[in-house]
A and B are shown apart, each in its own frame.
Chain A
Amino acid sequence: MALNRKVGFFKGLKYKGGGPMWAWILHRLSGLAMVFFVGSHIIAGFLTQQFGSDVGIAINIVYENWIFQLVLFFLVIFHAVNGLRVTLLDLWPALLEYQRESIWLEWLVIIPLYVLILFTVLKSALGL
């Protein structure tokens, strides 16, 4: 009998698509993470306001932790800039020829932005 065509998650991840494929995977993961972040933020707000619940406060402590904030900022910025890149490429297909360069450009935007955030978050976190 022929083998099933199914491509499992890890088998797919092992395919060597390189930078473009990883940009897509990170885009998906950061999207999922944001649903989780925003969801937990809303739940925390609801719980604290309506019931003054400790769970809400606990979630907020995690949410306001500077390490969490750094991860959050990275994922949000990556998702936004990468999404913008794909949107632009989709609107002007002629640019797709330069998609590798577009990924470089993307990091060129993300890195300075992130350094700025790193600086701001660390400054208030460590009281510099």
Chain B
Amino acid sequence: MQKITLKLFRYNPETDTKPHYDTFELEAEPTDRVLDLMEKVKGYHDGSLSFRRSCAHGVCGSCAMRINGQNMLACKTLVQDLKTSRITVEPILGLSVLKDMIVDMDPFFDSYKKVMPFFVNDEPKPAQERHQSIEDRERFDDTTKCILCGACTTSCPSFWSNDEYIGPAAIVNAHRFIFDSRDKGAAERLQILNDQFGVYRCRTIFNCTVACPREIQITQAIGEVKKAIATGSLD
């Protein structure tokens, strides 16, 4: 067991005009996750603490938070990984805070919906499944891993300065279909991303790739989309 000082961002829209921080002293195992600490605070110290969580196993994407200044999933971050006994948890940046760690994800999902994140192919259905070679499947494997947690988009300075920028998460999900050999909507998606608030808002800052809890090479995916737009070819 180890003593942990947990500093939490607090904002209650019903009583507060300004956010503040609350500090809790807790006992924790080095293998406890930040999410466990927050559950402990909510269960034993202050039931009004609000944050999103569901799976607690890094798959649902609800628990993206700014932990010691960097976007991470609270359920995947172990106390020992942070290498300090002082842990600060704040909501992700660039989306309006509704309460404590809960932010309004609507603008994020609006951008996501814009890129048509679904399979498009109007050709007659084959008798069985649509076949794809191993190499063709490999082409977009990395971007299938996205869990839409928002850690990338909310770590991006371009997005902070303007939320009209479609953001890395939406581009990753566009990439997943653009480079899928079975899909026929690539041209339309590239058109959508070839916009002043599309891929060219990406300044190759790389915060998104560093923040991604699924280790997706996001900047690379964005680079590939930029190149596809510039050259008109998917190779």
The reply to whether chain A is a binding partner of chain B is yes
- Please list the residues of chain A having a beta carbon within 8 angstroms of any beta carbon in chain B: 1-5, 7, 11-12, 14-18, 20-21, 24, 86, 89-91, 93-94, 96-97, 99
B70 in complex: contacting residue of A11, A15, A97, CB < 8 Å: A15
> Given A15-B207, A17-B155, A20-B207, do A96 and B223 touch, yes or no (CB 8 Å)?
yes
In terms of DSSP, what is the predominant structure of the interface of chain A?
A: helix
Complex alpha-carbon distance, A24 and B98, angstroms: 31
Task: Tell me if B78 is interfacial: C-beta within 8 Å of chain A.
Answer: no
Residue among B66, B97, B160, B223 making CB contact with A90, cutoff 8 Å = B223
Give chain B's interface residues, CB within 8 Å of chain A: 11, 13, 19, 66, 68-70, 93-98, 104, 107, 155, 157, 160-161, 163, 203-207, 209-210, 217, 219-220, 223-224, 226-227
Given known A15-B70, A90-B223, A96-B220, contact A4–B96 (CB-CB < 8 A): yes
Q: A1-B13, A3-B11 are in contact. Are A20 and B220 (CB under 8 A)?
A: no
**What would 10 more interface pairs be, CB under 8 Å, given A7-B93, A16-B70, A97-B220?**
A1-B13, A5-B95, A7-B94, A7-B161, A12-B160, A17-B206, A86-B204, A89-B204, A90-B226, A96-B209
CA–CA, A14 to B96, complex, Å? 18
